[in-house]
Amino acid sequence: MAPVSTPFAARGAIDLGALANNRKQQQAAEMAKASAPAGVIFDVTEAEFQTRILDQSSHVPIVIDLWATWCEPCKQLSPILEKLAAEGGGKWILAKVDVDAEPRIAQAFQVQSIPSVFAVVKGQVLPLFQGAYPEAQIKQVLAELLKVAAEQGVTGTFGEAATATEVEVEEPVDPRFIAAFEAVEEGDWAAAEAAYREALLHSPNDPDALAGLAMVGLYGRSEVATLVPDAEVTDVDAQLDLADAEALNSDWAAAFARLIATVKATSGDDRNRARTRLLELFVVADDDPAVAPARTALASALF
């Protein structure tokens, strides 16, 4: 199956319809992932491979998603796998492998292209598929995987074998966030923004509410933005819209660089708008490696 096309071009017109579908998939995956039992979805390293993959595969099937940050089809596939893993309730585990960070694992699986998805059952590797498959077909593949695992006696559920001291007790969801989560799932960004602002009235510095507010603001703006090619950009509004598009495409470095350049080139209200937008995107990007150098560059631009 051909990979799903990238929602954003580097330059020129942007397909906002494709972006909206991709964004809703990613947001649904984030909501589902947040409710998944700890350990059902995890990043795996070479050092952990024996214990977290091979050893556990005798109890529960392991699905391995080999991806990279630069891979556009991976950005389509990974949220679907995470969503299904969370919904699976521990009947299978999703292990994510960044092939750039863990090249030896990719070599061991003889990966030719990404995304590539494998399963491990009783220590045996089962190739599943390559490319960005749609959710319906992935569900069929997973159903067949569970049948194969059952035939080999692997019918456990993740967490069954853990002792009481090993089980992590999840904190209950703050009820003030439920309305926000529900609005996000519906793609109602205005309602989600209102819910997060309500939460901030009770706890002004709540990091989750601040991050949620910044995120839905980004998504909401993308649905009404009219984007133009870089060559035609002449005002601050267009720069802000293009920075949003780059952020939604996970090109944080480009988004940050654009806004920092705008801060340097403007003054007064325009400069403050560019700076504010940049700070909002810092919150959304969170621990992305591009955030730290961009913060330094912003400080230099301002002072």
Contact status, residue 97 vs residue 46, Cβ threshold 8 Å: no
Contact status, residue 67 vs residue 14, Cβ threshold 8 Å: no
- Please list the active-site residues: 71, 74
Cα separation of 252 and 293, whole Å? 11
Question: What type of residue sits at position 182?
Answer: E
Cα separation of 281 and 277, whole Å? 6
Count of other CB atoms within 10 angstroms of residue 5: 13
Look at strands 116-121 and 124-130 and give their pairing.
antiparallel
Classify the C-alpha dihedral 227-240-256-271 as positive or negative: positive
The alpha-carbon radius of gyration of the chain (Å, integer) is 21
Cα separation of 230 and 191, whole Å? 32
Query: DSSP string spanning 150-207?
Result: HHTT----TTTT--TTTPPPPPPPPHHHHHHHHHHHHT-HHHHHHHHHHHHHH-TT-H
115 prior amide bond cis, ω within 30: yes
Place of tokens 């988004």: 255
Rounded to whole angstroms, the maximal C-alpha distance in the chain is 69
Question: What type of residue sits at position 28?
Answer: A
